[in-house]
Structure 1
């Protein structure tokens, strides 16, 4: 139950179909949690132009259901003391948690989860199984685009078998997209940061590699940039543009520096990658730049929040 209740004319326009679609979706979301307004909307529908049709449908449904055989009346049982029930707040919290888990479902399973585990286990295997000193630079290069890929693979008709219901639901759109993005970040951020801390430090002859948590602000900024671009192009296209742009900006200077000599070897490429990562990640100016970019993308997402209601059609 909420402290606000829909006006009578708003309910009447909703039941007769004259309420604009955004307002109807907003009212439907309110009716999910307000029993008083839901009862008023039901009464308005029954007394309106569709009332006779609804009554006929109700009679037809009841007639099609076989009536159970009445059991003989039993002697009244002695009164018993009421059994203790769970507190209302616990039940409400359980329902909210269930809705969140259901909404975040595609973000916690499927191909993205396997790719996340592959990145984490692969980095540890390269460092400790293969003795590869460049495991941490490679992890830091890939980590910012892992949540971006998670957003692309957890939202849309390709990821959700109930996308038609999601598209028509008032809980869809930006709210559901943010829920699944939060689920992606909640899984990927702790795991990749922990793996970065477990990787061995670079040797004394190698360039200094950014800290294991240096990718967090860049990863958040790239994720928000994906959400902002998705309002124009859809999730998969936005994720591909942002993720591909990041990998290009990171690898193009490294490949351009390849020349004859030791820089063409694997260790030379790892050194150049570490230097490029330090340029993007290390220092207050770089981190403040990522923070400003994240804030701008968040403002753009908020300003275009209605565009995400049509995201399932992109």
Structure 2
């Protein structure tokens, strides 16, 4: 077929389309032409009258579906490339904390705190970095925050699994950004990674409290507790002993969360999250 303003479909293409014998991309080209060419549609009706009239309806249904299908964003396309099922990728991509604007804000915050830590005290960065995943988790769930809140309520997926998937996605994105920001403090050495275990522990503690208080309130409470602990313990949290204690707390909290997974699927949690 020649693509010009005056061209029309060949009879063989029309008959093949009417008989359901075409495949993409020729099928898409034919349907796109039929959408704009009345003479070819009239000719198609003549072909269909000798076959099955339902084929026209099926063809237009495919055109409508192609036009109405949402275009995946960069995050969703990346998740699909990683093998994430399309319905799960759609729910994850809608997470506010994975949007470009949010990630840019996190990157700017980390860059600022890393710059301050480089010329002042590294604890500024080590104390602030673990709070960012909490903000991401808090902003990822609940009415008025999550744009897919209603869809998530009726999705054929357990609330705990969805919550866990989103937490993993948020923590992973923040871990990459924090890791890059840590490079701004080469003088600290391996201690520049002291934010990682607290970040993990605070996120798990937020999950632990979420069924009772909701994700937003839980994240605020855990963040406030972390701030008080940093002030009280100063730099002890970022020593080997402090990091070991944080790792043990994270492991214990994770075990409790796993045992209480069913609490995330209650109507109470769905209402308050």
TM-score strictly above 0.5: yes
SS at structure 2 position matched to 1:175: helix
Name which of 230, 236, 252 aligns with 1:296.
252
- Matched pairs, number: 198
Q: What corresponds to 1:119 in structure 2?
A: 109
- Retained in 2: the 8 A contact 1:112–1:149? no
TM-score by length of 2: 0.63
| Cα separation, partners in 2 of 1:94 and 1:193, compared to 1, 3 Å | closer
**1:72 matches 2:46:** yes
The C-alpha deviation readout for 1:126-183, integer Å capped at 9, x for no partner, is 467xxx333x321111011111111101122232223122112231411111111011
| Cα separation, partners in 2 of 1:236 and 1:110, compared to 1, 3 Å | farther
Tell me by how many angstroms 1:227 deviates. Answer: 0.4
Name which of 176, 182, 203 aligns with 1:190.
176
- Retained in 2: the 8 A contact 1:144–1:219? yes
Name which of 128, 132, 135 aligns with 1:142.
128
**1:226 matches 2:214:** no
The C-alpha deviation readout for 1:236-261, integer Å capped at 9, x for no partner, is 010011001001121246xxxxxxxx
Q: Larger helix proportion, structure 1 or 2?
A: 2
Tell me by how many angstroms 1:201 deviates. Answer: 2.3
- Retained in 2: the 8 A contact 1:151–1:235? yes
**1:103 matches 2:103:** no
Q: Whole-Å Cα distance in 2 between the matches of residues 304 and 170 of structure 1?
A: 20
What is the RMSD of the two structures over their aligned residues, measured on CA atoms? 2.9
Q: What corresponds to 1:28 in structure 2?
A: none
Q: Whole-Å Cα distance in 1 between the matches of residues 127 and 243 of structure 2?
A: 16
Gapped runs of 5+ residues in structure 2?
1-40, 52-79
- Retained in 2: the 8 A contact 1:221–1:291? yes
Q: What corresponds to 1:133 in structure 2?
A: 120
The 5-angstrom pairing of residues 23-172 of structure 1 reads 71-73=45-47, 96-105=84-93, 106=95, 107-109=97-99, 112-126=102-116, 132-134=119-121, 136-172=122-158
Q: What corresponds to 2:237 in structure 1?
A: 280
Tell me by how many angstroms 1:113 deviates. Answer: 2.8
- Retained in 2: the 8 A contact 1:225–1:294? yes
SS at structure 2 position matched to 1:154: coil
Gapped runs of 5+ residues in structure 1?
1-67, 77-91, 203-208, 254-275
| Cα separation, partners in 2 of 1:100 and 1:186, compared to 1, 3 Å | farther
SS at structure 1 position matched to 2:182: helix
Tell me by how many angstroms 1:94 deviates. Answer: 7.4
